[in-house]
Amino acid sequence: MFISDLINGPLVRFSFICFFAGTLYQVLSFITLSKTRDRHPARQQRAAPERKKESDLLDRTSFAYRFAMFRLTVFGRYPVMMAVTIIFHLALILTPLFLFGHNILLDVSTGLHFPSLPESVTDSMTMTVLACCLFFLFRRLFVKRVRAITTFSDYMMLSIAGAPFLTGLLAYHHVGHYETMILAHMLSGEIMIMMLPFTKFIHMIYFFINRFILINQNTLGKGGSRVWR
Amino acid sequence: MTTQTEPEVDTQEILKILDSRKKEISVTLKSCAHCSLCADSCFLYRCRKNDPEYMPSHKVINSIGTLSRKKGKVTRDELEDIKEIVWKRCVLCTRCYCPLGIDIPSMIALARKICRSQGVVYQYDEEKREPQK
Ligand code: HEM
Ligand code: HEM
Ligand code: SF4
Ligand code: SF4
């Protein structure tokens, strides 16, 4: 069948080319559109003046103080959401990489492969991703502040991220017609890979640019080195 | 008697400002996951009884987001609405925190610049004092 031949071979290669070329394009266009900025000369020269330590009323090493500070971070304010999003992203990225079925295909086509996790483990990771997707969906539907900024594209993003996991799970458990399910799985996976550098999934690239390279009030690490323009 | 007509909005001027920071704007709007984790970091959001309109991302989406989606073709009324958002609902204190590192204040400041280019400016002396809700 023509369509299945397309999905089986050329489209896989095309989607990976799209992903790597698109990522390269995004990184290069960021580099050309931004410039390095040194720290302000006054700040560079002057070392922080020695301050006489005043005795502190607060015991800043106490658990109570540290816990109070922790409560102010995004992890402290939205603990459930942060836990779910970390589990979601870890499983989302690790599952396809260390999946036995994928590694076989990778070995056949390139001769290289990643180590594989036991299939029972990846199977539960797949279900975890789907459960997290459901959590995000319900949050979008029922939490007022999330609904206020939700657009159609957010539902699309959730479905595109969830589709390869749903179809992969169904195919693995041979629910429905296997051949069709695997085709649907490959197609949805290819669509997701192709879209990564161009759609809302661009946050995968810009998370690192925003938080480690661009200078702003929330830059992590050494405080960043570049600014826009 | 002459009726006072409102000056036209200079779309070209707005477009020029938008284009000068095109990639930055498109990346900001695209990479925002609409997750609302920035909500609690804005003191105005918390002072206003968690009104979603005070959420940092809501303010960016409805100011710079609107301007860039409409490619600068906004009416004066829409600019007045944006004025309310970028002056009354944000004080540019730069305390907002987005896990994805989106620089919200810089986008709000840009929206203010666009408003100013059209003579739409917040007049504090005309402010009607309303009781705090
Ligand atoms: C691009 C082409 C892709 C191909 C050719 C492909 C192929 C396959 C194959 C052959 C299986 C094994 C099914 C079985 O054991 O019977 C599988 C399972 C799976 N795939 Fe993919 N896949 C692709 C992309 C993706 C992507 C992008 C993701 C996720 C981001 C993904 C996630 C999964 C998962 C989670 C399973 C296993 C489900 C389970 O064990 O419960 N796949 N895939
Ligand atoms: C290493 C890279 C990544 C980082 C650091 C990252 C970080 C984030 C953060 C901070 C959020 C906002 C919190 C949330 O809504 O869960 C988010 C949301 C999201 N991310 Fe990622 N992400 C990465 C990669 C990916 C990839 C590869 C995908 C999909 C293929 C993805 C799909 C999503 C989705 C669907 C949401 C929205 C969840 C919702 O509807 O609330 N992310 N990401
Ligand atoms: S600005 Fe950041 S924290 Fe706020 S909704 Fe967008 S991605 Fe989430
Ligand atoms: S800069 Fe504006 S949006 Fe950010 S915390 Fe301050 S008032 Fe809120």
The total number of structural domains in chain B stands at 1
Lowest mean pLDDT among A7-16, B18-27, B38-47, B81-90: A7-16
Question: How far off is chain A from B31, nearest CA to CA, in Å?
Answer: 5
pLDDT digits 0-9 by tens, A180-225: 999 999 999 999 999 999 999 999 999 999 999 998 888 887 778 8
* Amino acid identity at A74: V
Residue A12, phi then psi, degrees to nearest 5 = -60, -50
Query: Considering the entire predicted model, what is its pTM?
Result: 0.90
**Residue whose CB lies within 8 A of the most ligand 2 atoms, among A204, A205, A210, A211, for a mutation test:** A204
Please report the pLDDT score of residue A54 as a whole number: 73
Q: Span A129-134, mean pLDDT?
A: 97
Whether residue B5 lies inside any domain: the answer is no
Q: Relative to the alpha carbon of A151, which ligand is closest?
A: 2
End-to-end, the C-alpha distance of chain B in Å comes to 41
| CA dihedral over B11, B17, B22, B27, signed as positive or negative | negative
- Residue B73 domain-assigned (yes or no): yes
Residue A163 CB partners (closer than 8 Å, separation 6+):
A188, A191, A192
Tell how far the Cα of B121 is from the centroid of ligand 4, in angstroms. 19
The residue type found at A102 is: H
Kind and range of the H or E run holding A36: strand A34-36
Share of chain A above pLDDT 90, in %: 69
User: Which tens digits make up the pLDDT trace of B52-69?
Assistant: 999 999 999 999 999 999
Where are the domains positioned within chain A? 201-229
Q: Which domain holds residue B97?
A: 21-120
Query: How far, in Å, CA of A228 to CA of B92, rounded?
Result: 19
Does B55 contact A at CB distance below 8 Å?
yes
pLDDT at residue A59 above 90?
A: no
What is the token pair recorded at A196?
Answer: 């990564």
Q: Given this model, what pLDDT does residue B1 score?
A: 44
Q: What integer best gives the mean pLDDT of chain B?
A: 89
Q: What is the ipTM of this complex?
A: 0.86
